[in-house]
Amino acid sequence: MIFPSNYEEKCGFTAIRILLKELCLGSLGIEKINEIKIQTDFKSLSYQLEQVKECQVLLTKEHRFPWTPYTDTRLIIQQITEDLTSWLTVEELLAILQTLREGKQFYQLATQDDNEGYLYPKIAHLATHYEPLDQLTEEITQLMDHQGQIRDSASKELASIRKEKTQLKQAIQRTFDSLWRKAQAAGLIDAETPTSERDGRMLIPIAASFKRRMKGVIHDESRSGRTVFIEPEELVSENTRLFVLEQEERREIVRLLLLVTNSIRQSEIRLYQLYTFIGTFDFIRAKALMALKIGGILPVVVNKPTIHWNDAYHPILALRLKEEGQVLTPLKIKLEEDNRILVVSGANSGGKSVTLKTVALLQYMLQCGLLIPVHPTSTIGIFEHLFLDIGDGQSMENNLSTYTSHLSTMQFFLKHANARTLILIDEFGGGTEPELGGAIAESILEQLNKQACYGLITTHFYNLKDFAQRTKGVQNGAMLYDFMSMKPLYHLSQGHPGSSYALDVARRIGLAEEILHNASQKIDGNYLRIEKELQEVVALKVAALQQEENKEEIENSSLQKESPFGDSQYIKPKEKEERKVQIGDIVVLKQNKKEGVLIDIKGKKAKVLIENMKFTLNLEELVFIEKLDDN
């Protein structure tokens, strides 16, 4: 079950569907795109994902894949099967012939094999109920050429008629040329007068005053009446015979078209199998092309609810930023049985909503049979229900406020959520008086946790952070914020809550210190202390993140050196010099092996943050863990 009905629009899948349609070769594939819906059958979904993965390989290896749009001829087939007296036009036959040929190309690509079997077995499975209609293709090509011209060799009767037509036209032309020269010599027509033709008969235009001087049949006259168009008497019988031959030719062509049309009627079922095959192949090809475009891969898929993603991207946002020369920060997130619900907090514009939309979109994409942009080590599970609450839910039609609408949505979640549900809620508890809103939100979260669902929830409410910190099954997360530069890092860090940095942001933008002091006096002192501690935790996480990024940068920029023997080897780093323990270093307690972060040093005493709690210890009780080579 998907909630709300406009889930696709809210999470960004509408743009994915549009992109897929643009990558299709024709309407058969587009119809499949329109039919995309979320799936929960693990076996079927896994098979479809493997098909797309195979097609990715096919696209990168095969350079003869048909790239030209194909024609949908189903309506043509339907018309001739409903009217048994009708026949196909040459243009319609050309369209069907093109479809047959493209179907053969698809078939040959899909069913390639070696001595051990199909190269692309799951793609080859598409052709299980289809075989190329070679006999029908041959019958059409024997009737006409690639330009749609009926061949002389289509039948003996047609060849005979056309041979006689050619000979008769040549004789008529010779006689006409002779009569034309005589008329010019007699002064009946000027030297620059053009020849004329009416209904296939060659006529001589003569001034009306001279019409009695040429024997023949008058077929037409000019608007002014000054010129008449005469068929010479000597050509009447030949032109009549030519007219008869043309009628015979048309009848013979219709007879041949009827024969081919009847063959196509008899192949109706196989033709529809062809359309299914082409449409499905086109559909899978579009999915594979999109995966190549967005960096989509097939992660480890398991038949249970779980999310363990590394380097996950919102594909549409990533493409947009790439066009602007920017890079999207990847998302790392883990929702598993012990920590099913993640409560994410942090400063405004820090990336909470983008994180939530990324989870909503990628989970939906994969369960729609699409490869997603994550690291190959990622694991993704299957959910029966995806519930999303994001954005302004105010209903003008029903006169519902944003908060009332939000509560109605929560009521739906509570009624339908179970252990195979993923709930995604943005700004949980907002829209009403904070004290009551936070209390109601906490009660709802408590119940959702009891129902064992999975979820990602963004909030600013302290009570929800506190609830997540002390409740099994719920975990805190924070969008990291660099306080020194006052910039969000768009990086999700799990295991601790985030700070809103409200007072600090206000101070940085220049709000009067008197106002900030008065505001601080109005806030509970315990709350300010907790906020300060949260900021310290986030600062340490930011420092660790930047340290890790610096380490990666150093590793990536390692130079290579040619040995005297031509082998390439990395330059060995010089011996590391000893240095003193510094704030931000990772340390381990000798006694219980607990790992922590050094946050302060005074003499021989050290303050260490372990599992979000501060401890004052002797330096000799700690072991320094080397995380980065300072050299």
Residues 366 and 63: their CA atoms lie apart, in Å, by 27
Tell me the backbone φ, ψ of residue 342, rounded to 5 degrees: -110, 125
- pLDDT tens digits for 152-163? 999 999 999 999
Q: What is the mean pLDDT of the chain?
A: 82
Q: Which of 459, 452, 448 is nearest to 336 (CA)?
A: 452
CA 426 to chain centre: 25
Q: How many residues does the chain have?
A: 631
Q: What was the pLDDT predicted at 627?
A: 46
Residues 261 and 76: their CA atoms lie apart, in Å, by 11
On whether the CB atoms of residues 110 and 124 are closer than 8 A, the answer is: yes
| Amino acid at the residue 244 | V
User: Is pLDDT at 20 greater than 90 in this prediction?
Assistant: yes
Q: What was the pLDDT predicted at 484?
A: 64
Q: Which of 169-178, 234-243, 486-495 has the lowest mean pLDDT?
A: 486-495
> What is the SS3 assignment for 456?
strand
Residues 264 and 166: their CA atoms lie apart, in Å, by 32
On whether the CB atoms of residues 380 and 301 are closer than 8 A, the answer is: yes
- pLDDT tens digits for 262-318? 999 999 999 999 999 999 999 999 999 999 999 999 999 999 999 999 999 999 988
- pLDDT tens digits for 32-55? 999 999 999 999 999 999 999 999
| Amino acid at the residue 562 | E
Q: Please tell me whether the overall predicted TM-score, pTM, comes out greater than 0.85 for this model.
A: no
Residues 125 and 129: their CA atoms lie apart, in Å, by 9
Q: What was the pLDDT predicted at 547?
A: 66
Other Cβ atoms within 10 Å of 46 Cβ, number? 16
Q: Per mean pLDDT, which of 424-428, 556-560, 572-576 is the most reliable?
A: 424-428
Burial of residue 133 (number of CB atoms within 10 Å: 0-12, 13-18, 19+): buried
Q: Which of 157, 132, 121 is nearest to 270 (CA)?
A: 132
Tokens representing 617? 């210890």
- pLDDT tens digits for 579-631? 566 677 777 776 556 677 777 787 777 877 765 556 677 777 777 765 444 43
- pLDDT tens digits for 51-110? 999 999 988 887 766 667 888 899 999 999 999 999 999 999 999 998 998 888 888 888
On whether the CB atoms of residues 290 and 13 are closer than 8 A, the answer is: no
The model's confidence at residue 216, banded by pLDDT at 50, 70 and 90, is confident
Residues 465 and 481: their CA atoms lie apart, in Å, by 17
Tell me the backbone φ, ψ of residue 197, rounded to 5 degrees: -145, 140
Helix 236-266 crosses helix 74-82 at what angle (to 10 degrees)? 100
Residues 17 and 365: their CA atoms lie apart, in Å, by 10
Q: How far is CA 290 from CA 126, 373, 530, in A?
A: 20, 11, 46
Tell me the backbone φ, ψ of residue 146, rounded to 5 degrees: -70, -15
Of residues 430 and 396, which shows the higher confidence score?
A: 430
Of residues 166 and 180, which shows the higher confidence score?
A: 166
User: Is pLDDT at 568 greater than 60 in this prediction?
Assistant: no
User: Is pLDDT at 350 greater than 50 in this prediction?
Assistant: yes
User: Is pLDDT at 575 greater than 60 in this prediction?
Assistant: no
Q: Which of 382, 385, 380 is nearest to 414 (CA)?
A: 385
On whether the CB atoms of residues 308 and 379 are closer than 8 A, the answer is: yes
- pLDDT tens digits for 385-412? 999 998 654 443 444 567 788 788 889 9
Peptide bond into 4 cis (omega under 30): yes
Residues 130 and 124: their CA atoms lie apart, in Å, by 10
Tokens representing 142? 């024997």
